[in-house]
Amino acid sequence: MTDTPRRRLADHVSGSPTFIGSGSALTGNLECGGDLVVAGSVNGDSTVRGSFTLSEGGRWEGRIEAANAVISGEVQGTLVVAEKLEIRASARLRGALSARSIAVARGAVIEGEMAVTSGAAVVHYEEKRKT
């Protein structure tokens, strides 16, 4: 085990997530019992019991429900996160999103409704690390 602090959601991805790689396309609904990392394109709805990561260049059209999420790609639809949502500078979101806490990097584009279910303010930050 490492002594490195893990503050970012991306640092907490499990050891065996489900991947949809760059250049891959999936049409349909997906139930994921753990973490999900998407670098390709998905058109459908998904329930993710763990963390959902949409990499830069990745695209999702549909509804996503997840425990936590890190978005660097493009989402068109609905994103419902039970706990923490991190929106990176390269992210483009169109639709409705909600989470217990939301952090948005400067440069991210959000078109639609955004709700913080805890009542806390949205945190805005300057992205310093690329990975």
Give the pTM: 0.86
Q: For residue 91, what are the contacts with CB-CB under 8 A and spacing of at least 6?
A: 54, 71, 72, 73, 74, 75, 105, 108, 109, 110
Q: Does 130 reside within a domain?
A: no
Q: Does 50 reside within a domain?
A: yes
Q: How many domains does the chain have?
A: 1
Nearest to 65 by CA among 50, 43, 87, 86: 50
pLDDT in tens, the chain (131 residues): 344 444 555 555 556 889 999 999 999 999 999 999 999 999 999 999 999 999 999 999 999 999 999 999 999 999 999 999 999 999 999 999 999 999 999 999 999 999 999 999 999 999 886 65
Question: What's the domain range around 59?
Answer: 15-123
Q: Does 53 reside within a domain?
A: yes
Q: Does 3 reside within a domain?
A: no
